[in-house]
Structure 1
Amino acid sequence: MSVEPLDRVGIVGLGHMGASLAGALAPHVAVVGYDLSTASVDYVRRQFEVEVTRSLEDLVRASDVVVIASPTPSVRQIRDEIDRLAGAMGRRPVVCDIASVKRELALDSPMPSTIRYVSLHPMTGREGNGAKSADPSIFVHANWALVLTGHEEPGALALATRVPLMLGNGVVPIELTDHDRAIAMVSTLPHVSAVALGRLVGEGESHALLQLLAAGSIRDSVRVARTEPTRIVEMLYPNRSQLKAAIDALISELEACRDNLDDEAWLLAWTQSGHRGAEGLLPRNDSKRMHRVPLPELASEFQRMARVGGVVVELTQSAETIMIVSVGGETSGDELS
């Protein structure tokens, strides 16, 4: 099996994430962007000097990988339209969504018959909305979730993962059943707590005084609440079933703190535990490990990594063999110096 070329990436949807991704990819690969908004198309063309089109058909015809960067509720419709167009052209492009919530995408159901589908989720972003809020730097040192359903073709996985890897990003394999629960804790819940603090401090009875006293700790804590509210709702509502459990867990922590405020030893142990947890979220310099797998076994290898943990940082394909370099987790292979 020959190595598939990745000459052009098509991006459908040039809002905050799509435009940011277009700008980040432009120095590495040819990019063509598509959006119904003339203003977004014109801005991305001028700002990042990438090719743009108002024709989804032209984008599908030109792209080796198509990234759907539109709001989650529209992903399935766009996916089906791309499948129809690709079928009429006799093409089988790799198509990826980058939606933050996978529950509504029906990824565990049979996929459209023509396209080769891979679901990704870049763990990055910033406050803002629309193409003019684009910031390619959000993809510096980012990790992407590679969401596994068991239906992915090995060649499609190899091609799709090259998109984040060419940005110097890491790829974290994760099972579909685990994704939305994990995202509720590390992404959606922080938005909920930021909004709650924003309301409590910024709009409460003493908000005028509190605004004058606000410094780094509260400003950092509410930063993501400055995201355009409709974007926050697009994160919260689709993942509401998992988010409820995450909110309950946070409430339990807050109630435990409230109930033990008179116990200094308990407070010290509690804050020490939180300190360790926060330190564990910082980037680490783990040793790299290299291992080779036959291309037909790539999906199985990613599923194994999803079980034991690990981040793919390099992937090289030569005919029938894939070389994977990864960090963290219980990854097998030879340690690299």
Structure 2
Amino acid sequence: MPVPPQFQKDFDAALAVPTYSNPLDRWPAYVDGSLQTIFGKDGILGPEDLAPRFADMMRLRFPRSMWSAAGVDKRHWSGLGNVLHLGQKFRLVLSVADPLDPDGDPAWRLVREEATYEGSARRPWRAVQIRGLPPAEQAAQDKKEAARVRLHCTLDRKARDAADPEIRSIVAAMQAFDRDVRFESERLRARLPEICYGRRLAEISPILIETHHRLGMRRDEIKAWIWALKMEQIVLLGRYAQPNLHLRRGGLRRGDPQPAVPGVLAVLTASMGPPPQIAPAILSNGEIPAEDADALAGLAF
């Protein structure tokens, strides 16, 4: 089945000159991923087969957007033309004669079933061509990428070592508040082995301290992990500030008498000293203007 006549102009226009593109270095990898999704295991497809697949892909990616319309409309045909144009530009697809209709509209063949581009392992915003290069260029690219990976592995390892004192300090501070607390938030659970779930802080603190090493975290992941620990520390401090609102299982219930634990002001005073005392300004009767004194007298009962 050829392109529907009402959409032929939009498809041909986008195929000749794309209506949208992106200057980001990762754009080839994005286009490559789209084509891999659309074609699947089918090597050659006509536009009448590609358009519904493109529409389904865009609905899944952007469920509440201009792409979410049912069926295949003008926007989908134009978008397919864009992807095929860029696929040709990046040497990902070829226009070929349709084996079922040699005299009809051309079909499209995916150059290779495996991805040609991928995001850099250490620079997710950058696309790296991993297949389809001439042998000499391919070898040089592989060597360059391997050197980059080694560099970032070294930087990440040093960042993990540098984070040790701060993480130990945070965990020690939490233990000083409550060694028996059990963490339920996904901030921590997502990075801890299942055996840690429901266990006391005193039991899992060694694992908390070594988690960034155990998972081989990158620098951005280390920052996120430290942030998660600090958030748990803040939550724990809040429990001590208002312990009668602490509703965890086995803990206090609303209305229970508060135990003798330090509140926020006591903790801050212990760490920062007492707050400054500011004497209030007092005006004597002689300093009050006559008109203001009359107004104040009128307010007296």
Q: Could you say which TM-score interval applies, normalised by the shorter chain?
A: under 0.3
TM-score by length of 2: 0.23
Specify which structure has the higher proportion of helix. Answer: 2
Give the structure with higher Rg (CA). Answer: 2
- Higher RCO (C-alpha under 8 Å, 6+ residues apart): 1
TM-score by length of 1: 0.21
Specify which structure has the higher proportion of strand. Answer: 1
